[in-house]
Amino acid sequence: MKYTKLYNETTNLCSCGKCGKEIELKATECSYCRANFLSNSLEFSSETPLPIRVLKIFAYIDLIVGIIAGLFTIKENGILGLAFILQGILICSLFLVIALIAENIIEIRKNTTQKK
């Protein structure tokens, strides 16, 4: 049975596709579980990079905080309350779109990078 190696771009490390332990980039066999690797089986890890995850989290935080701030303010100042809610929705969707674009660029780069 042949296994694939997983390559993580963020850490620049390779891991075994069977046991998940860290291995050398050019290893043909896992030194832990003795799994054999296909010669050109390098696969990129599908983990979302941290900056994109942080961006998404803050997008949702901004949405929630914006709506809460808007609901608190809307009774005293209708326009200001509405502005808070609208900025929450707008910033959230804007950041989510940016995160989506970044994820797509990563996917495109993976598909166009030659596997060695």
Question: Where does this chain bind Zn ion (CB under 5 A)?
Answer: 16, 18-19, 30, 32-33, 35
Residue closer to Zn ion (CB basis): 8 or 87? 8
**Shortest spacing between CB 44 and Zn ion, in angstroms:** 18
Task: Give the CB-side neighbour count of residue 112, counting CA atoms within 13 A.
Answer: 6
CB 5 within 8 A of CB 43: yes
Burial (0-12, 13-18, 19+ Cβ within 10 Å), 23: buried
| Phi/psi at 113 (5° precision) | -75, 130
Name the token pair of 106.
């990563």
Residue closer to Zn ion (CB basis): 30 or 59? 30
**Shortest spacing between CB 35 and Zn ion, in angstroms:** 5
**Shortest spacing between CB 116 and Zn ion, in angstroms:** 20
CB 7 within 8 A of CB 44: yes
Residue closer to Zn ion (CB basis): 19 or 57? 19
**Shortest spacing between CB 15 and Zn ion, in angstroms:** 8
Residue closer to Zn ion (CB basis): 41 or 73? 41
